[in-house]
Structure 1
């Protein structure tokens, strides 16, 4: 059975009433004050970086969820930034690399479980150019940064379903 995205929220954030009930598959409504809260998808962005040998840059996750598994460098958008800016910021924070010219490839929905919450995300993937690959180092929430041959053999090491789907798409187009 699928858990409602707002299952952990029992009280209305406006008036504090316990009459905060499921309204539909992504919202709750307060029967006392009429406030409706929607659990919309959280935006994230990931960088697809290839080196001069055509290898793909992946990071190994340092923390839960999915510590030790791989994913594309990326993360959640801040309130005041575009997805392109998110992509470049996360690439720099996790790998030390400065990217430029992000080109939108595709977006994929994902379910990300964190602190007992199932967060619906919309993950956008961007092709990013990096001029200096020598600045590479693991930082922020990356335990390691690795170059890999583009291959479906990586699928069982990729943490997130949207990132596995992205890898499949990249392999199909290569």
Structure 2
């Protein structure tokens, strides 16, 4: 379902004359306000340990419950992407980020509560203070390290993470 269809009333004046204006916007014919559907910012952390193994999680919740994932999530309001990735990593793994280096980004669709949420996924190479502090938390059922040769992207439940992992693997060879 097109998420714009869910918005029936103008958020400024409350008019029901809030109609599709373009594939990514709705406009109120009463007050002239135009709302653009922009992607939500999401962050993904690629963290390796001293043996070159990648930190991986198993998803505790839908979407893709039970599949593999990388630490990450949505950026909060008034938060930079670097702050978001540091917060998400701490919430999900207990680890403290000391460095987050931008790698690449990609568009994604995150299916949540019956809706397709457009996202912009931002991938970071992250370093952590102490890998021994690893503990699964928040929406991670478990966390563990995988050697690069043991990574099978098809086991990762989210399309953007699979593509990002493939891109990361290719950049290392």
TM bucket normalised to smaller:
over 0.9
TM-score, scaled relative to structure 2:
0.93
Cα deviation for residue 131 of structure 1 reads: 3.0
The answer for the alignment partner of 2:3 in structure 1 is: 5
Give the root-mean-square deviation of aligned CA atoms: 1.5
**1:79-118 correspondence to structure 2 within 5 Å:** 79-118=77-116
TM-score, scaled relative to structure 1:
0.92
Alignment gaps of 5+ in structure 1: none
Match of 2:31 among 20, 30, 33: 33
Distance (Å, rounded) in 1 between the aligned partners of 2:15 and 2:115 = 21
The answer for the alignment partner of 1:121 in structure 2 is: 119
Alignment gaps of 5+ in structure 2: none
- Partner of 2:126: helix, strand, or coil? strand
The answer for the alignment partner of 2:168 in structure 1 is: 170
**1:47-62 correspondence to structure 2 within 5 Å:** 47-62=45-60
Match of 1:138 among 136, 139, 147: 136
Closer/same/farther in 2, CA of residues 24 and 101 from structure 1, 3 Å limit: same
Closer/same/farther in 2, CA of residues 118 and 152 from structure 1, 3 Å limit: farther
Distance (Å, rounded) in 1 between the aligned partners of 2:115 and 2:12 = 21
Distance (Å, rounded) in 2 between the aligned partners of 1:110 and 1:94 = 21
- Partner of 1:18: helix, strand, or coil? coil
Distance (Å, rounded) in 2 between the aligned partners of 1:142 and 1:96 = 11
- Partner of 1:7: helix, strand, or coil? helix
Closer/same/farther in 2, CA of residues 58 and 150 from structure 1, 3 Å limit: same
